[in-house]
Each structure stands twice: as structure tokens, then as C-alpha cells.
Amino acid sequence: MTTYREAVRTAIQTLLREDPRVFLMGEDVGRYGGAYAVSKGFLEEFGEERIRDTPLCESTFVGAGIGAAIGGMRPIVEVMTVNFSLLALDQVVNNASLMRHMSGGQFEVPLLVRMATGGGKQIAAQHSHSLENWYAHIPGIKVLAPATVQDAHDMVLAGIEDPDPVFIFEHQMLYGMEGPLDTESTPPSPWKAAVRREGKDVSLIAYGGSLHKALGAADELEKEGIVAEVVDLRSLRPLDHETIVQSVSRTHRAVVIDEAWKTGSLASEISAILAEEAFYELDAPIERVCTLEVPIPYAKHLEDAAIPQVDRIVAAAKRSVGGA
């Protein structure tokens, strides 16, 4: 058993030790050891050339990572939180995502960008939003959301090997979570969704920090005789249509849990996929459980009320089953 934080740390440490092209840079990754203590001790082990503290200037250091990747390096860029990453969107949308296309395939951009996302830690609106769907909208990059200790490790390794820019969103409430870690077996493809719990009455579709709330909701529903299937999306771009559609074809009902705001959300995209590809399999309207359309509050009781919780997922599932 190890923590989510330690799993990410182990993967990065392995890459740094095995591949001299790999280096880590970002805000407070060196002397401070990372905002979430992932890189603690790395500066002492690997030195300033490979563990680089950057100024608070996301556009600059994400752009530097893109340039280093084009030049043959394997940069891992850590952005402290997803909200701050918006300062680098120009670099992502107009440079990183377009380079292979605009060069006719001559240039690859093997860049790995990691950032914390999500609410629940009372660090207010500028540090707590879930904007993964903004990135999942962009062709030319790939987006991962590890929800388990194993995925937190394996997706770092997979991301650094990909010829396209890979963005990993680590939910900040998961860093202290414990789970098993197997570093010997061949990991499954990171681009496929996973059924974390089999069921027959309703599909709960989630990712990242919301996965564990979906599993908790499934436990509560089982007490009332409702057997929920829980699907972990894992990859947000590309989305695994096949697994999503197969699950709903078994249960004939869907509840999509997404910590983003409902308007323009990933939950909206999944709902559209189901309407396009599994409409006649549905026995009830698709339910969406998303964050309320407000900035994430600082006060704990308001923050809890704003973001998806187990009771809201349970209520949505019961509406779906009762509406058959």
C-alpha cells in the first residue's frame, strides 16, 4: 500500500533515474519539494539542472517545456493548480497542440504537464476549480485523470512516452489516498475507461476525485436494492466511447458525475455521446451531477454544497431508476 502522492513521486523518480532527457520544472518543485510534496528531495538527488524552480509565469515555463520537447528532451512541467494554467493556454492551444499538424508530422512534442485540480480543501475559488473539459476540447493534446494510486503512477510513465503533449489532472483531494501499487506488471492502456464496479440498474460515470464519490453512492444504493455500475473514464481525451456505451447498454440508465460546472461540461459531452450512440438503450433521461454554477466558495459548508457529493449522486440515481 502506498499513497497517491508517493505513486506519482515514484514514477517521476524512475523516469529521472533512467532517462537523462527527463527533467522536472515548475513552481516550487525544487527547494520547497512541490506544492503537494511530490518532488520532495528531488533537488538534492538530481540537482538544479534537472529540477528547476520557475518564476510564477506559467506562459513562460510551459512554453519553455514545449521548446525543450521539440528539441529532444522529455520535460515534465508541474503547474501548481489548474486555475493558474489558464495563463499558459496560448502556449497550449496555439503551439503545443498544433506543432505536429503544422509541421506535417516533422515535429513531435513529448511534453508531460501535471497539475492539481478540483475542490474540497478550502483553498478558495482561484485554487479549486475543475477545468479539465477546457483541455479535453483541444485536438492535438491528450488528457488523463488518474483516480487510483495505480493510475497515478502508470499515467506518468505513459504520458512521457507519448509523442503528443499529455496533460494529467491530479485531484488535490487524492494525494493522501492509499492504495495498492504494482510496479512490475504491464499496465493497461491509459486511453481506455475502466468498470470499477459491475452493476445492472444504473451506470454512474465519473473520473478523478468524483470516482470515489460514485463508488460511495453505489454502496448507499445497494442498501436500497439498486445495483449501480461505476465507470471510471480515466482518459478525457480521447474519450472511450465504447466502454461508456457498453455500460449504459447493460444498465439502460446513466448518471454522469463531473466536478466542472454543468454548462459546457464534460458531462454534457458524455450525455451527447449517449444520445447519439445509445439513445434506444436508454430507459430514463440522462442525469448530470455537476458543480453548481458559482465560484467555489471558501467556507466549508458552502464548498461542500457546491461540488458533487454522495447524496446528490444517490438522489440522481434514484430519480433515474424511479423514472423508468
Q: How far is CA 3 from CA 9, 152, 174, 201, in A?
A: 10, 10, 9, 32
* 222: annotated active-site residue: no
Identify the active-site residue in 6, 27, 58, 78: 58
Query: Which cell numbers in the block locate residue 27?
Result: 513552481
DSSP 98-163: THHHHTTTS-----EEEEEE---SS--GGG----HHHHHT-TT-EEE---SHHHHHHHHHHHHH-S
Identify the active-site residue in 78, 127, 170, 303: 127
Among 312, 311, 47, 4, which Cα is nearest to 146's? Answer: 4
Helix (H, G, I), strand (E, B) or coil at 238: coil
* 58: annotated active-site residue: yes
Among 47, 32, 35, 44, which Cα is nearest to 8's? Answer: 35
Which residues form the catalytic set? Answer: 58, 127
